[in-house]
Structure 1
Amino acid sequence: MKDPIAVESAANNPYANIITVRRGDEERPEIKTLVEVLQSDAIRSFILDTYKGAVIPVER
């Protein structure tokens, strides 16, 4: 991770993980909470601290 040959951009990356739910479930409170938590600064920090650049959090 220190000297990579190439680094993909985190912005608009087509390989980012996607949260998918059944149609009609996107407004459920628990789904909204899940999305909020996964996109939080705490999770971003966890990814950066744990994976040291091997995994890049998606830009919001």
Structure 2
Amino acid sequence: MARTYDIRTYGCQMNIHDSERLAGLLEQSGYVRIEANAADGPDLVVFNTCAVRENADNRL
């Protein structure tokens, strides 16, 4: 049976890109994406979040 995953992305456009890249790497490793609220749930849930870097914070 295949290992399963879901990625929850919160943040900016870069986070979306990072999540897409991570999904590709997981799928190359044999994982199959399913929704976190699926009956059995995924084996792995990744929360991809964002933080403001110091340089960006200084510009505000």
Q: Shorter-normalised TM-score: what interval?
A: 0.3 to 0.5
* TM-score (ref. length: structure 2): 0.33
* TM-score (ref. length: structure 1): 0.33
| Greater fraction of residues in strand | 2
